[in-house]
Amino acid sequence: MPKIELLDEQTIDQIAAGEVVERPSSVVKELVENAIDAKATAVTVEIRDGGTTLIRITDNGCGIEAEQIPVAFYRHSTSKIRRVEDLATISSLGFRGEALSSIASVSEVELITKTMGSLTGSRYQIEGGKEISLEEVGAPEGTTFLVKNLFYNTPARRKFLKSPQTEAGYISDMMEKIALSHPDISFKFINNGQIRLHTSGNSQIKDIIYHIYGRDIAANLLEVEGEFDGFSVSGFIGKPVISRGNRNFESYFINGRYIRSSLIAKAIEDGYRGFMMQHKYPFTVLAVSLNGKLVDVNVHPNKMELRFSNGEELYRGLVYLIQNALRQRELITDVTPGGEKKEAAKPAYEKKVIPELFEKERISRMKEDAAAAERPKDAALREPIRYGAAQERKKPLAEMPEQPKQQTLADYTAPETRLLSEEARPEHRIIGQLFDTYWLVEYEDRFYMIDQHAAHEKILFERTMKQYREKEFTSQMISPPIVLFLTMQEETLLKKYQEELEKLGFSIDSFGGKEYAVSAVPANLYGLNAQELLVELIDSLGTVSEKDTPDLVAEKIASMSCKAAVKGNNRLSRAEAEQMIADLLKLENPYFCPHGRPVIISMTKYEIEKKFKRIV
């Protein structure tokens, strides 16, 4: 057996760095989180070549005292905890005390810092984990880190980095998440001399969403806010019209920390159940505040994964908030001639005012980019440190005269007129039926198309779920009973969910061996092929997770009621169409069928007249 020996400190530092510093974005994350913990109100991040040659992070936080600077670069040195019990109540973003040591072991680091009230600051240099110098210098309050030549002494790790553009993209994405999680801090991100992000720190999350994601998403948001036992939630969710094909637009933060959580992702997606098609994912920016004792952040070296001791309560609270927000708004999809989909047309004042805000923001950002472009491209590499534009100052202590409030996107919410409301119903004008499938309705200055099959599906689904919750289900007896022959797997699923099946009106008994007799089915399914329907239903229950609640199991079963819905190409009478619209009024979510397809789409009179060239 080879001889066992202790590793030297340099090797230990580089191994530890591998856990904390995976790529340039890891360095930025750790140092920006330190700036936030230092109570900074403004943070500037500047990078070159994807962060491999230069990362400069400047903040106006509390700074580091001169005698504390070398200690800050020791392994496991931290100002956040003193003993193991503190881990249970930690509220800061960084606390392990490995970040500065790890970064310094694989790069050339220069630190300039000054505490509030000090006459002078300090300049500290450390390369590859070895101290170079510590000297007194003039400096503004706050801290600036320069990290140069990342992984210069570990070429194998540098070889596995992606292109500078890709690495810069990782940093940009991370800066966007941090800006969303701390709207009260002004963040500036500069990539190769170009300003890519600049937030005001005005605490308006909606403004930051507009800066990052653009006009279409900012105009299709719903605000959510709720207080629960042990935690609170606030933020914005997107209307179903801005769904995406992956989870990249699901952002959520725990006590100011951007994290990933299968529990929260499931709560978000279950909250959208019935409002969005399968394999589509919503847009969310949600901030969750909870007691530090209820969450374990010490799960993974990058602190991106958390464990919750109140996971079930958190799940139920998020599902409730999202569903409640979606049910409060009319979510009819507006179809513009030309193919693109958007939300219903906005009132005249919003058409005028909000584009003006967008234009002001666009011009402001163009000016900032132009100013940055005028600076010599190699200035960041020539200058040891740069203050001024990159150094945001703390707010002055003296009270300033109150300034007129600047209009922001958050100040505007559009009033809405709901098609599906008792007040609007007398004004509906049913024009007729198209292709024996779509009912055409005129209301105010809009034209609506209602898919009779999707509408009937949703009516039957919600009626079945209501009967399930209120235990008012009805059964229709079958004579003679239907005999099913089930495989072992199907038999296991039947026994597991038999109680839920019976609550909805099925009556199923063992008939000996692998055979089962079905003597009753839900009344609304009578007349359909019950044998085929039940086998398909049992098979679909195989996808139900162990963690799914009984209500979600019931939803899976109730979705089979869609089989009884009136199909397309079936002509309905006007009276039947009137009744269908009346039934839609009574639903919690009449806008999407159980599979997430839209029930109603609309088009404005304005768009139609544009198509006929009445308006140019």
Question: Contact at 8 Å (CB) between 333 and 594?
Answer: no
Question: Contact at 8 Å (CB) between 551 and 323?
Answer: no
Q: What is the pLDDT of residue 299?
A: 47
Average pLDDT over residues 462-485: 79
d(CA 43, CA 163): 26
Q: Which of 252-256, 328-332, 482-486 has the highest mean pLDDT?
A: 252-256
Q: What is the pLDDT of residue 561?
A: 60
Q: Where are the beta strands (DSSP E) in 128-277?
A: 130-137, 142-148, 186-191, 194-198, 221-228, 231-238, 250-254, 257-258
569: left (phi over 0), alpha (psi -120 to 50) or beta: left
Question: Contact at 8 Å (CB) between 284 and 249?
Answer: yes
d(CA 51, CA 228): 42
* Between residues 514 and 237, the one the model is more confident about: 237
Neighbouring CB atoms inside 10 A of 502's CB total 14
Q: What is the pLDDT of residue 545?
A: 65
User: pLDDT class for 69, splitting at 50, 70, 90?
Assistant: very high
Average pLDDT over residues 222-250: 90
User: pLDDT class for 552, splitting at 50, 70, 90?
Assistant: low
Q: What is the pLDDT of residue 253?
A: 92
The candidate with the shortest Cα–Cα distance to 47, out of 27, 62, 65, is 27
**Burial tier of 615 (Cβ tally within 10 Å: 0-12, 13-18, 19+):** exposed
User: pLDDT class for 350, splitting at 50, 70, 90?
Assistant: very low
Give the side-chain half-sphere CA count within 13 A for 527: 6
Average pLDDT over residues 353-367: 53
Average pLDDT over residues 293-299: 61
Q: Which of 107-111, 271-275, 407-411, 507-511 has the highest mean pLDDT?
A: 107-111
pLDDT exceeds cutoff 80 at 504: no
Q: How far is CA 35 from CA 42, 64, 144, 506, 549, in A?
A: 9, 11, 9, 61, 42
* Between residues 477 and 87, the one the model is more confident about: 477
Sign of the Cα torsion 420, 422, 423, 426 reads positive
- Range in 34-48, 396-410, 436-450 with the lowest mean pLDDT: 396-410
Question: Contact at 8 Å (CB) between 109 and 123?
Answer: no
Q: What mean pLDDT is reported for the chain?
A: 77
User: pLDDT class for 195, splitting at 50, 70, 90?
Assistant: very high
Tell me the one-letter amino acid at 304.
M
d(CA 242, CA 219): 10
d(CA 138, CA 144): 13
User: pLDDT class for 344, splitting at 50, 70, 90?
Assistant: very low
CA of residue 120 relative to chain centroid, distance: 44
Tell me the one-letter amino acid at 202.
N
Question: Contact at 8 Å (CB) between 598 and 454?
Answer: yes
The candidate with the shortest Cα–Cα distance to 199, out of 190, 208, 212, is 208
Q: What is the pLDDT of residue 477?
A: 87
pLDDT exceeds cutoff 90 at 321: yes
Question: Contact at 8 Å (CB) between 104 and 73?
Answer: yes
Average pLDDT over residues 590-610: 85
Q: What is the pLDDT of residue 410?
A: 44
Place of tokens 């024009």: 431
Q: Is the pTM of this model over 0.85?
A: no
